Amino acid sequence: MTDNRIYYPQQPILPAQKPGQGQSASPAAKPAGNQPSFGQVLSQELSGVKFSQHAIQRLSSRNIQLDGSDLAKISGAVDKAAQKGARDSLILMNDLALVVSVKNRTVITAMDGANIRDNVFTNIDSAVIV
């Protein structure tokens, strides 16, 4: 039996399958062309926030896992920043720092607690603490 789960980020998500579709999806499989991965589309649809490829790499390499409530908090923080007219914002949530393009609703990069210390955040005009 093939495993048709897609892991993003490290959580099983069962993709919808068309009749006769029998190929398994690998966590390392890259989408064809410039199309976003299933996980990226699902994340955007659920939270209204996109993740740049750089941010996805940072989340993965630093073993940062976001669940539905985390995505909702991030989306709410982006909404608050947008209401204040922010363009690029630093979102601090628990032991996590995210730099977000508010206009594009896109997380540009992510850092965990170990990487936040002794860093300078540039090109931001606001900060939201969640």
Torsion, Cα of 117, 122, 126, 130 (10° steps): -30
- Report yes or no on 21 lying in a domain: no
Torsion, Cα of 108, 110, 116, 121 (10° steps): 0
- Report yes or no on 31 lying in a domain: no
- Report yes or no on 20 lying in a domain: no
Q: By the 8 A CB rule, do 126 and 99 touch?
A: no
Torsion, Cα of 24, 25, 29, 32 (10° steps): 90
Token pair, residue 42, equals 């699902």
- Report yes or no on 56 lying in a domain: yes
Q: DSSP per residue over 22-41, as a string?
A: -PPPPTTPPPSTTPPPHHHH
How far apart (Å, rounded) are the C-alpha atoms in residues 110 and 30? 21
- Report yes or no on 30 lying in a domain: no
How far apart (Å, rounded) are the C-alpha atoms in residues 94 and 18? 40
Q: Range of 66's domain?
A: 6-14+36-129
The pTM for the full model equals 0.65
In tens digits, what is the pLDDT along the chain, a chain of 130 residues?
565 555 545 444 444 544 554 444 444 444 455 666 666 666 556 568 999 999 999 999 988 888 888 999 999 999 999 999 999 999 999 889 999 999 999 999 999 988 888 888 899 999 999 9
- The count of domains in the chain is 1
- Report yes or no on 19 lying in a domain: no
- Report yes or no on 108 lying in a domain: yes
- Report yes or no on 85 lying in a domain: yes
